[in-house]
A and B are shown apart, each in its own frame.
Chain A
Amino acid sequence: MIAPRTTLALLLFAPLAFFAAFFLAPMAVVALASFTTDEGGLTFAHYARILLDQYHWDVLWVTFRIALATTALCLLIGFPLAWYLVRIVRWRSWRRACVILIVVPLFTSNIVRSFGWMVLLGRTGLVNQGLMGMGLTERPIRFLGTETGILIGMVYILMPFVVLSVGNALAKIDTALEDASADLGVGPARTFWFVTLPLCLPGAVSGAIMVFALAVSAYVTPALLSGGQITVFSMLIFQQYSSVFDFHYGGALSVTLLVLTLVLVTLAGRVGERGRRAA
């Protein structure tokens, strides 16, 4: 069965056109703006303004610190959760219920969920009431306006990505491999380290990259939970585009964040690849 050439061309062209119109074109507009002045001349002044200013580096550092911590915590909590879902739950309906519980929050808006955390984490919120009720703290802990607060919200929102991708990798591992390792005289802990973990690594890396990319560019959650005390990079970009209307400077900020994120993600991918090969 051979499709006529025109049909084939159309099939190839349609996704290409979609990709160009909705992805490449906006990117090009942003990138172009970042290298030009209002008069249309070529300039690197916007980048110089960013890279030579300590303030930007401070904000970048905070942004990446929060994103890295979010990624680490998501992996740390998401891995056991995925393990529980795939390996421990025997009852199918319960597993399905758990997966729905994990996925459904993704259908609601970030804003709603972040507001939820604002209520929970407030001075008289449920979290502080619970901690004080259990006698773990005497005075309410300040969560809002701290990196801890932002971290809690971000981990909550981005966790499903790790659970789903690690769970998927775990479910694909033939348990006969673990049997084989045990059969060769290797106990459960070392079997996990030498067999199960390396085989989950691609799933964990892809989950981590997703979480990291989303955490670096997150705006709503940090904005709502920071209470104006903490600035992350996406807030700077938002300011330029929505209040200052400086599309050139805003574009340069966007491209800076994008390039740095890509560099880090590529490095992480390399490390994951090497880890898998060495194991």
Chain B
Amino acid sequence: MPPLLSIDAVSKNFAAHRALVEVDLAVEAGEFIALLGPSGCGKTTLLRCIAGFLTPDAGRIRIEDEDITRAPPYRRPLNTVFQSYALFPHMSVADNVAYGPRRAGVGRREAQARAREALALVGLEEMGTRLPRALSGGQQQRVALARAIVNRPKLLLLDEPLSALDLKLRRRMQIELKHIQEKLGIAFIFVTHDQEEAMAMADRIVVMHAGRIEQTGTPEAIYRAPATRFVAEFVGEPNLIPLEPAGPGRARLALGGAELPAAAGMRFAMARPEDIVLVDGPVPDDLATFPGIVEEVLAIGPLTTLFVRCGVLLLKVARLGMSGAELTPGSTVTIGLRPAALHLIAE
């Protein structure tokens, strides 16, 4: 069985700007993929190439066995939820949702029935007769979703669909979208620049940077084992501790001088802020400890972040709740980390 969607070496240039550089990606049926990256990284360009609004300069895009690289958007078996929602302002909500089936030759009654069903799925069955502009942003977003899934495509593309919503509503929609996706078994490709959103929803995250895919992996792999410094810094907050070579197959931490096994070329050891602990009392054997001076305390309630100066390095130390909030800038602490648990990054 070929994957649902395969993208082979797709490149796209806008004049001198290389928007996509030989991108490869395979998406399986029913998968939830997040395309994650900063603005201008090529994620929206890739999405528009899949949808058919842009034609790649090189490479191939296939759905199952069919080559759709040059097929127009209206001949592709997939649907899109647009960032601006793009609801037809001159049609009622129900007519918006029924538009796809209706134009495909489905009878008025049947199309309206399907529209009602899709609207019920997003919790808007009462809103069918309204015009889109009479709805709130969150409701419009649901209508856009209903319109895109009414034909039950195998693949749904979502272009930053939640970016216009406020934080609370966004969190709720993230959960809801995930449930709808699981219920329908449709593969989602979800473009976002919000790493938390990607982590919360996706089965697999594709991190993009400067037109290339930096890393593809599960949210856990992306967070725990970023392939590059860019991924480490874009997803979450890393503490990057420089490494010095210490003989074949080994490297020395710039902090404290502990030695650890490392492949050649590894330049940084990464510890997430929650990997670093404040030591108070007896020290476990596998813990390397260092003295440090607290420079800043940032307590936001569920999490307290301490900025601790250790020589030239400024380390971020995260603690659950308000513990550590009592520390004042200037106080001396002992911090500890497990060298064996560090993730090594080459560049």
> Which A residues are closer than 8 A to B by beta carbons?
174, 176-177, 179-188, 190-191, 194-195, 198-199, 276-277, 279
Task: Please determine whether A182 and B72 come into contact, CB atoms closer than 8 angstroms.
Answer: yes
On chain B, the residues within 8 Å of A195 by CB distance are 88
Within the complex, what minimum Cβ distance (angstroms) separates A150 from chain B? 36
Picked from B74, B90, B147, the residue with its CB within 8 Å of the CB of A186 is B74
Can you offer 17 A-B residue contacts whose CB atoms are under 8 A? A176-B86, A179-B51, A179-B73, A179-B86, A181-B99, A182-B72, A182-B73, A183-B51, A183-B74, A185-B74, A185-B100, A185-B104, A186-B100, A188-B74, A194-B103, A276-B90, A279-B91
On chain B, the residues within 8 Å of A184 by CB distance are 74, 79, 99-100, 103, 147, 151
Extra contacts, 16 of them, besides A180-B80, A276-B90 (Cβ < 8 A), are A176-B86, A177-B89, A179-B53, A179-B80, A182-B73, A183-B51, A183-B74, A184-B74, A186-B100, A186-B103, A187-B72, A187-B74, A194-B99, A199-B89, A199-B90, A277-B90
Closest to B78 in A: A183
Q: Given A183-B51, A185-B151, A187-B74, A177–B100 Cβ distance below 8 Å?
A: no
0/1 interface trace, chain B 68-94, chain A, CB 8 Å (1 if under): 000011110001101010111111000
Task: Please determine whether B80 and A183 come into contact, CB atoms closer than 8 angstroms.
Answer: yes
Q: Given A179-B53, A179-B73, A180-B80, A185–B86 Cβ distance below 8 Å?
A: no
Which residues 94-115 of B have a CB within 8 angstroms of A?
99-100, 103-104
On chain B, the residues within 8 Å of A191 by CB distance are 74
On chain A, the residues within 8 Å of B82 by CB distance are 176, 179-180
Bound Cα distance A182, B51 (Å):
10
7 cross-chain pairs, A with B, having the tightest CB-CB distances, nearest first:
A184-B100, A180-B86, A176-B86, A182-B73, A186-B103, A182-B74, A183-B80
Which residues 13-69 of B have a CB within 8 angstroms of A?
51-53
Bound Cα distance A62, B82 (Å):
51
Task: Please determine whether B103 and A198 come into contact, CB atoms closer than 8 angstroms.
Answer: no
Interface residues of A: mostly helix, strand, loop or mixed? helix
On chain A, the residues within 8 Å of B53 by CB distance are 179, 182
On chain A, the residues within 8 Å of B72 by CB distance are 182, 187
0/1 interface trace, chain B 282-294, chain A, CB 8 Å (1 if under): 0000000000000
Closest to A182 in B: B73
> Which B residues are closer than 8 A to A by beta carbons?
51-53, 72-75, 79-80, 82, 84, 86-91, 99-100, 103-104, 147-148, 151
Bound Cα distance A208, B86 (Å):
28
Bound Cα distance A186, B86 (Å):
15
Bound Cα distance A279, B102 (Å):
13
Bound Cα distance A279, B95 (Å):
10
Residue of A177, A180, A187, A276 contacting most chain B CB atoms (<10 Å):
A180
On chain B, the residues within 8 Å of A185 by CB distance are 74-75, 100, 103-104, 151
Task: Please determine whether A180 and B88 come into contact, CB atoms closer than 8 angstroms.
Answer: yes
Within the complex, what minimum Cβ distance (angstroms) separates B80 from chain A? 5
Bound Cα distance A180, B51 (Å):
10
On chain B, the residues within 8 Å of A279 by CB distance are 90-91
Task: Please determine whether B88 and A177 come into contact, CB atoms closer than 8 angstroms.
Answer: yes
Closest to A191 in B: B74
Bound Cα distance A183, B51 (Å):
7
Within the complex, what minimum Cβ distance (angstroms) separates B131 from chain A? 10
Residue of A174, A185, A194, A279 contacting most chain B CB atoms (<10 Å):
A185
Residue of A174, A182, A194 contacting most chain B CB atoms (<10 Å):
A182
Bound Cα distance A180, B90 (Å):
14
Bound Cα distance A187, B104 (Å):
10
Bound Cα distance A89, B90 (Å):
27
Q: Given A184-B99, A185-B103, A198–B90 Cβ distance below 8 Å?
A: yes
Task: Please determine whether A183 and B88 come into contact, CB atoms closer than 8 angstroms.
Answer: no
On chain A, the residues within 8 Å of B91 by CB distance are 279
Bound Cα distance A50, B147 (Å):
58
Closest to A194 in B: B103
Bound Cα distance A279, B89 (Å):
11
Residue of B90, B91, B148, B151 contacting most chain A CB atoms (<10 Å):
B90
Closest to A176 in B: B86
Closest to B75 in A: A185
Picked from A176, A199, A276, A277, the residue with its CB within 8 Å of the CB of B84 is A176
Within the complex, what minimum Cβ distance (angstroms) separates B228 from chain A? 33
Picked from A176, A183, A188, the residue with its CB within 8 Å of the CB of B79 is A183
Closest to A199 in B: B90
Closest to B157 in A: A183
Residue of A177, A183, A186, A276 contacting most chain B CB atoms (<10 Å):
A183
Bound Cα distance A191, B73 (Å):
12
On chain B, the residues within 8 Å of A198 by CB distance are 90
Bound Cα distance A199, B88 (Å):
9
Within the complex, what minimum Cβ distance (angstroms) separates A180 from chain B? 4
Bound Cα distance A182, B73 (Å):
6
On chain B, the residues within 8 Å of A188 by CB distance are 74
Closest to B147 in A: A184
Bound Cα distance A242, B86 (Å):
57
